[in-house]
Amino acid sequence: MEIVIVPDAAAGGALIAAAIADLLTRKPDALLGVATGSTPLPIYQALAERVRDTGLDVARARICQLDEYVGLPKGHPESYRSVVLREVVEPLGLTESSFMGPDGSADDIAAACEAYDQALAQAGGVDLQLLGIGTDGHIGFNEPCSSLASRTRIKTLTERTRVDNARFFDSLDEVPHHVITQGIGTILDARHLVLLATGEGKADAVAATVEGPLSALVPASALQLHRHATVVVDEAAASGLK
Ligand code: F6R
């Protein structure tokens, strides 16, 4: 695992956007796995700026989701499909055809999860997976005690994660209780994992991920198993490291 400490979130976003630009130069049809939430927004802004300023051709890039709420209608502004379209796909000048995600409104959620794992494999696997981290150490929505070998499946959000995510909704009651998330095993299949963590609130989770033992209690510690995992942290998020 490589750890990169940057001064702030903007520097982390710029660094990771540069790595994505590099990947797309080498492999124009790369499959980029994206996370939602607040942390990766500086990456998406920096990448869109790069595309605008340098003329980097991203027309063949493919984008895939890490997770999705269960029960929100597809067009709901806070469904992760809508968020990824708004924050990543449209700013890069791509269309829905270059984008895939699990169907959180499917009647048969188990079948939708299996279909998504198959779709990722058929697409040749994820080249670079962006990750954030929850204050409880989750990646995707693999909450503590998730199996380190898990595949895409339905999970129940902890109360802590629902409270953390309530800022995107009008009230806590509106935050769904369930999500479809790529499993930890699914995430580990990606060729390169890049986790960005910013702010003091993530310091304990980052320290446990990087310096703690491999443990299902800290799902992000599974990155220790991956041969190419990069953890980018700002100084505040790095403040718990020894
Ligand atoms: C969302 C996701 C989550 C978030 C995590 C941190 O797609 O995968 O693991 O990355 O909950 O969220 P923020 O960045 O909002 O603190």
Residue 109 lies in a domain: yes
pLDDT tens by residue, 120-149 = 999 999 999 999 999 999 999 999 999 999
Residue 242 lies in a domain: no
Q: 41: domain CATH number?
A: 3.40.50.1360
- Which numbered atom of ligand 1 lies nearest the CA of 202? 16
* Distance of alpha carbon 161 from alpha carbon 183, whole angstroms: 17
pLDDT tens by residue, 8-61 = 999 999 999 999 999 999 999 999 999 999 999 999 999 999 999 999 999 999
Is residue 138 among the annotated active site residues? Answer: yes
User: How many domains does the chain fold into?
Assistant: 1
- Which numbered atom of ligand 1 lies nearest the CA of 40? 14
Dihedral of CA atoms 149, 152, 153, 157 in degrees, nearest 10, equals 90
Q: What pTM did the predictor assign? A: 0.97
Ligand 1 centroid to Cα of residue 30, in Å, is 22
Amino acid at 145: C
Residue 241 lies in a domain: no
ipTM exceeding cut-off 0.95 for this assembly: yes
Residue 150 lies in a domain: yes
Residue 223 lies in a domain: yes
Quick one: which H or E segment has residue 193? strand 192-197
Residue 59 lies in a domain: yes
Read off the pLDDT of each residue in 95-118 and give the average, rounded to a whole number: 96
Task: Please give the residue range of the domain that contains residue 218.
Answer: 2-234
pLDDT tens by residue, 205-233 = 999 999 999 999 999 999 999 999 999 99
Tokens found for residue 230: 């990069």
The ligand 1 site (C-beta within 6 Å) comprises 35-39, 66-67, 132-134, 138-140
Q: Which of 68, 87, 138, 192 is catalytic?
A: 138
pLDDT at 203: 98
Residue 167 lies in a domain: yes
Is residue 136 among the annotated active site residues? Answer: yes
Sign for the CA dihedral angle at 218, 219, 220, 221 comes to positive
* Distance of alpha carbon 36 from alpha carbon 143, whole angstroms: 16
Read off the pLDDT of each residue in 160-166 and give the average, rounded to a whole number: 94
pLDDT tens by residue, 81-103 = 999 999 999 999 999 999 999 99
User: Are 226 and 163 a contacting pair, CB within 8 Å?
Assistant: no
Residue nearest to atom 10 of ligand 1 (CA): 132
Q: Which of 143, 164, 192, 234 is catalytic?
A: 143
pLDDT at 183: 98
HSE (CB half, 13 Å, CA atoms) of 17? 24
Residue 186 lies in a domain: yes
